Amino acid sequence: MSSEDIGTGIVVGIDLGTTNSCVAVSADAAIPDKAEKIAAGRLRPVSGALVITDRYRSPLTPSAVWIDRDGTPVVGARAKNKARQSGEPPPAMFFKRDMSGSQPLRAGHATITPTEASAHVLRYLRDLAESVLDVPVRRAIITVPAFFEVGAKNATTQAGTEAGLEVVETLIEPEAAAQAYLASRAGEPAGEGVFLVYDLGGGTFDASVVEWNSETFDHLSFDGDRFLGGYDFDQAIVGLLADKTPGYNLNIDVSVPEHRALLGALLAEAEDVKIELSRSPAADLVKQNLLDCDGEPMILTVPFERAEFEALIARRIEGTVDSCASALEKAARRRPDLSAESLDGIVLVGGSSRIPLVSEALAKRFGKQPELVDPDLCVAAGAALRTAFVDRRTTHLTLGPPVVLDGRGEINGRVLTGGGLADATSAVVVLRSDDGEYTARVRPDAGGGFRFADIPVTEDETGVTVSVEVDGRTVDSHAETLRAGLDQPRGGAVLANPISVKVRSGLRTVAEEGDPVPHHVEIGLRTVNQGVLLPVPVYEGSIPIGEVVVSDLPADTPVGTRVALSVTIGSDWVIDVHARVPTVGREGRATLNLRSFESDSWDRLKDRLDSVRASWAEKRNLVDPETRITHGPRIEKLIVELEGLLEQRLDAAQATYRMTVVEHLIEGLALGAGAHLTPSFAEFEAKMADLEQLLDQLASRDAQRAAEFRAELPALRATGTAAYRAESQLDWSKAVEQVEGRIYAVWNLLVPPGVLVPSEGPSAATLRVQVLAEIARGRDQLRDRMAGVPAAQRTRALDDLYQSLLTEADAAHADVHRIDVNAPDATRALRRVLDERVAPWLARVETFPPIVDVDPE
């Protein structure tokens, strides 16, 4: 961006929010007719900043984008309204959650990326700011969540560029809120302090601990729930309303258009009740002219008490307070003297933090009264305050952020040439304090650089004007304010989810949620069995993101051998994992990308939900009662939420995230009842899968018989499931035998005619076919497993093992062929080969490549 482009622009602070966005400027900014604009409500003073409002004096713009048929973008409330208009394609909303990905979003009549959607919102805010301020807006500080990784921050910067804004900084939201909070305490000494920032918005909850050390903010820790907010509380009130009005049918199915309209109306009423209950101990929901789900007219006069609303949401609020405690604990690891008592303030951010229970629960837990500083606007205000640290650029001037130490100020800058000023050294730069008490002059160096040091700061803040003069004529000037105790901020990025490695006994956490990045940790593990490959899977939260493998281990490496693991999470959000087995001199290294998370398409999400439903239906009665009680409600709630999200088709990121969570929950369920039975339920499922595979083969030869067998599958599965659930070993064995019998029968139909000797029992010829088939199956499996080993891990030892297993298979194959099936002891001989050679060989094939498990030391 050239100096001409920058012009005499102003720097704005932008809160690019998940649901709403907002733009603000510093109250010190040079704005024409500032007082009139404030009086007219187009600039709203908030904590030392001025929030810019639209023509309807609204400071908030919904973060929604809708593209018209002719490609014209619609941003804000009009775009958001499209979400509820059934005849219109939906707008792009909640795209901030997708900023690290490039998954296309539906935005009305176009498909755009999350970055493009953000650019549309930023462009709208920039245009709004320019129209209100009457000055060009070319630069901005944009706030981002603390857990935004570099990719998402870069995408935010890119969005700014596309909107014609130079993003001079991406500031983390809790620091912006704390900045506004500090400004709201103007008059009090701005000394050191540690603050808990509690941010409960429409759809997310974040808790952060930030430290102000008189010069900079340090983001100490983070915790939260990315999908909890005020909307959940509105839904809770609608649920309570249904309980209170049993005479009406409020069993709402959002796929029915009339029900959807009813839900919309009830949620609007619920929001009113929630707001009223935040101010009064009781509120009535009064509504008529609505039809219930049976089409019956409703007359609602339903009293609500704050106490019952609080009881309804108490667990969730308590959960947020637990998150705060967790954030404090994490912060205390970095500041051992930090405790709830030593907090200097609790800052409430986000509209839902107005609920009185929030303040009460926080005060009760931490013994300190939280403070509410315009929770909807304070993040934008904080960003605007931070613009005080940004270089100021005018036609001939660039000024660095002023620094004040011990009552003396310093300003560095540069004189820009062009536009009639050919040589910077021909100019003189003059600094005058607004009170006329201090004047200084310097001549810039050849590059235009200059510095004013030792500027007296006589009050809390001192206004100065820096001018460029050529031949005694002022060609440019800029007003500046020097304040005590401010300096440039730092980054503050933290992990949104814990990072763990999987060991035999479960997940071992190596970095906690909220730990700042970069992060480095070293841990010791020990092997718990023998093998030649040592894989260590790495998880973010409950989602696997990759693994590091130590290959080529000597097969006789003793159990209990030490494995040193180091994990480094860089500020670029890349994880370097290094595993070493020092005693044998082997090591492995992997570079993993953290949170390369992308939303799925809606079609893919629908398929995944179908699969989740089927898998839960199958497992729900097999898990032990305790697991069912602890996990069942959560799984079922997630499924219901997912159904709603898929119906609305607005928030793909949330749907993808919740889908992944529910899938992992179901996958990790321990099947309790029948756990002692043999074979295991997994083996039973594997046999059923084998049978289905054989039936696929049979279908190409004898479709009718295949269909007959296939018709038996549901009964076989039901019998097996019932026997397992009843924990009856006898019934379970019979059920498994039934499946095996069908496998055997289908196999008989598949082998070439003439080879089999049909009889009641397995003849030697049949057995020989089965043994040979087993060997062939094992060979295929071995080849597949070898093909699955990455080239980098194909060591000589592994290759030798592979070849030796193939050789063993060939030898067994040849021996089986040598057995005369007509000999009297043929069956016994075949059985011996099967039991003593083929079965152990198959067992080794199934564990190829041999894996070493580890556990913590």
Partner 1 sequence: MTTPAERVFAIDERERGGAPPGRSAYGVTWAALRARYAAEDRLRDALSETERRDKELVRELVVVLHKLREFVAASGPSMAAAGLSADAELVGALADRLAGAIARRGGTVIDPVGLPYADVADLVDVLDGDGPWVTKTERAGLRWTDGEVVCRAQVLLGGERETEGDE
Least spacing, CB of residue 377 vs partner 1, in Å: 13
Counting contacts by CB under 8 A, is residue 40 touching partner 1?
yes
Least spacing, CB of residue 288 vs partner 1, in Å: 5
* DSSP bridge pairs for 507: 502
Q: Which of 261, 430, 543, 699 binds partner 1 (CB under 8 A)?
A: 261
Counting contacts by CB under 8 A, is residue 269 touching partner 1?
yes
Least spacing, CB of residue 167 vs partner 1, in Å: 29
- Indicate the residue among 291 and 521 with the shorter CB distance to partner 1: 291
From 53-61, 105-113, 140-148, 347-355, give the range in contact with partner 1 by CB under 8 A.
53-61
Residue 172 near residue 201 (C-beta atoms within 8 A): no
Axis crossing angle, helix 230-244 with helix 257-279, rounded to the nearest 10: 100
**Spatial CA neighbour of 9 closest among 135, 116, 98:** 135
**Spatial CA neighbour of 55 closest among 64, 43, 65, 42:** 42
Restricted to residues 577-636, the positions that interact with partner 1 (CB under 8 A) are: none
**What distance in Å separates the CA atoms of residue 91 and residue 823, rounded to the nearest whole number?**
77
From 167-175, 254-262, 365-373, 578-586, give the range in contact with partner 1 by CB under 8 A.
254-262
Counting contacts by CB under 8 A, is residue 282 touching partner 1?
no
- Indicate the residue among 81 and 738 with the shorter CB distance to partner 1: 81
Q: Which of 65, 75, 80, 220 binds partner 1 (CB under 8 A)?
A: 80
From 268-276, 367-375, 581-589, 593-601, give the range in contact with partner 1 by CB under 8 A.
268-276
Counting contacts by CB under 8 A, is residue 456 touching partner 1?
no
Residue 428 near residue 457 (C-beta atoms within 8 A): no
Q: Which of 88, 683, 740, 825 binds partner 1 (CB under 8 A)?
A: 88
**What distance in Å separates the CA atoms of residue 102 and residue 375, rounded to the nearest whole number?**
31
- Indicate the residue among 254 and 442 with the shorter CB distance to partner 1: 254
Counting contacts by CB under 8 A, is residue 572 touching partner 1?
no
Residue 421 near residue 476 (C-beta atoms within 8 A): no
**What distance in Å separates the CA atoms of residue 12 and residue 29, rounded to the nearest whole number?**
9
Q: Which two tokens stand for residue 498?
A: 């814990």
Counting contacts by CB under 8 A, is residue 85 touching partner 1?
yes
Counting contacts by CB under 8 A, is residue 265 touching partner 1?
yes
From 33-41, 91-99, 328-336, 647-655, give the range in contact with partner 1 by CB under 8 A.
33-41
Binders of partner 1: how many residues, by CB under 8 A? 36
Write each residue from 285 to 314 as x if it is in contact with partner 1 (CB under 8 A), else as -, in one continuous string.
-xxxx-------------------------
The helix (run of H) or strand (run of E) holding residue 454 is strand 449-456
From 147-155, 253-261, 690-698, 821-829, give the range in contact with partner 1 by CB under 8 A.
253-261
Restricted to residues 103-122, the positions that interact with partner 1 (CB under 8 A) are: none
**What distance in Å separates the CA atoms of residue 494 and residue 206, rounded to the nearest whole number?**
12
From 140-148, 282-290, 705-713, 777-785, give the range in contact with partner 1 by CB under 8 A.
282-290
- Indicate the residue among 298 and 722 with the shorter CB distance to partner 1: 298
Counting contacts by CB under 8 A, is residue 707 touching partner 1?
no
Q: What is the DSSP letter of 662?
A: H
- Indicate the residue among 82 and 153 with the shorter CB distance to partner 1: 82
Q: Which of 1, 33, 84, 251 binds partner 1 (CB under 8 A)?
A: 84
Least spacing, CB of residue 290 vs partner 1, in Å: 8
Least spacing, CB of residue 272 vs partner 1, in Å: 7
For tokens 């009130």, what's the residue?
237
- Indicate the residue among 84 and 701 with the shorter CB distance to partner 1: 84
From 80-88, 348-356, 363-371, 820-828, give the range in contact with partner 1 by CB under 8 A.
80-88
Least spacing, CB of residue 257 vs partner 1, in Å: 8
Least spacing, CB of residue 11 vs partner 1, in Å: 23
Least spacing, CB of residue 468 vs partner 1, in Å: 23
Instruction: Locate all alpha helices (DSSP H) within 88-149, ordered by sequence.
Output: 114-133
Least spacing, CB of residue 121 vs partner 1, in Å: 17
- Indicate the residue among 466 and 746 with the shorter CB distance to partner 1: 466
For tokens 């020989």, what's the residue?
768
Q: Which of 56, 682, 700, 759 binds partner 1 (CB under 8 A)?
A: 56
- Local structure of 721: helix, strand or coil: helix
Least spacing, CB of residue 254 vs partner 1, in Å: 11
**Spatial CA neighbour of 13 closest among 27, 24, 28:** 24
Report how far apart, in Å, the C-alpha atoms of 95 and of each of 319, 625, 638, 652, 653 are. Answer: 26, 40, 21, 9, 8
Least spacing, CB of residue 138 vs partner 1, in Å: 28
Q: Does residue 679 have a cis peptide bond before it, meaning omega lies within 30 degrees of 0?
A: yes
Least spacing, CB of residue 155 vs partner 1, in Å: 29
If you write DSSP's letter for every residue of 356-406 in order, what string do you get? HHHHHHHHHHHSS--EES-TTTHHHHHHHHHGGGSPEE-SSEEEPPPEEET
AA identity, residue 788: G
**Spatial CA neighbour of 352 closest among 199, 505, 542, 185:** 199
From 15-23, 55-63, 645-653, 771-779, give the range in contact with partner 1 by CB under 8 A.
55-63
**What distance in Å separates the CA atoms of residue 806 and residue 636, rounded to the nearest whole number?**
48
From the number of C-beta atoms within 10 Å of its C-beta (0-12, 13-18, 19+), residue 472 rates as exposed
Q: Which two tokens stand for residue 680?
A: 């295991």
Counting contacts by CB under 8 A, is residue 257 touching partner 1?
yes
Q: Which of 86, 700, 704, 759 binds partner 1 (CB under 8 A)?
A: 86
**What distance in Å separates the CA atoms of residue 38 and residue 42, rounded to the nearest whole number?**
6
Residue 347 near residue 373 (C-beta atoms within 8 A): yes
Least spacing, CB of residue 40 vs partner 1, in Å: 7
Q: Which of 189, 191, 239, 264 binds partner 1 (CB under 8 A)?
A: 264
- β-pairing, 43-46 vs 192-200, is unpaired
Residue 487 near residue 494 (C-beta atoms within 8 A): no
Residue 316 near residue 228 (C-beta atoms within 8 A): yes
- Indicate the residue among 54 and 690 with the shorter CB distance to partner 1: 54
Least spacing, CB of residue 70 vs partner 1, in Å: 13
From 283-291, 538-546, 708-716, 814-822, give the range in contact with partner 1 by CB under 8 A.
283-291
Exposure class string for 755-775: b at 16+ Cβ within 10 A, else e: ebeeeeebbbbbbbbbbbebb
- Indicate the residue among 132 and 549 with the shorter CB distance to partner 1: 132
Residue 588 near residue 550 (C-beta atoms within 8 A): yes
Counting contacts by CB under 8 A, is residue 647 touching partner 1?
no
Write each residue from 412 to 441 as x if it is in contact with partner 1 (CB under 8 A), else as -, in one continuous string.
----------------------xxxx----
* DSSP bridge pairs for 188: 186
Q: Which of 3, 8, 30, 77 binds partner 1 (CB under 8 A)?
A: 77
Q: Which of 162, 166, 225, 272 binds partner 1 (CB under 8 A)?
A: 272
**Spatial CA neighbour of 12 closest among 183, 177, 135:** 135
Q: Is 314 left (phi over 0), alpha (psi -120 to 50) or beta?
A: alpha
Q: How many residues does the structure list for the chain?
A: 857
**Cβ contacts of 734 within 8 Å, gap of 6 or more:** 723
Residue 517 near residue 573 (C-beta atoms within 8 A): yes
Counting contacts by CB under 8 A, is residue 252 touching partner 1?
no
**Cβ contacts of 850 within 8 Å, gap of 6 or more:** 530, 531, 532, 533, 555, 801
Name the site residues for partner 1 (rule: CB under 8 A): 38-41, 45, 53, 55-58, 77-78, 80-82, 84-88, 257, 260-261, 264-265, 268-269, 272, 286-289, 434-437
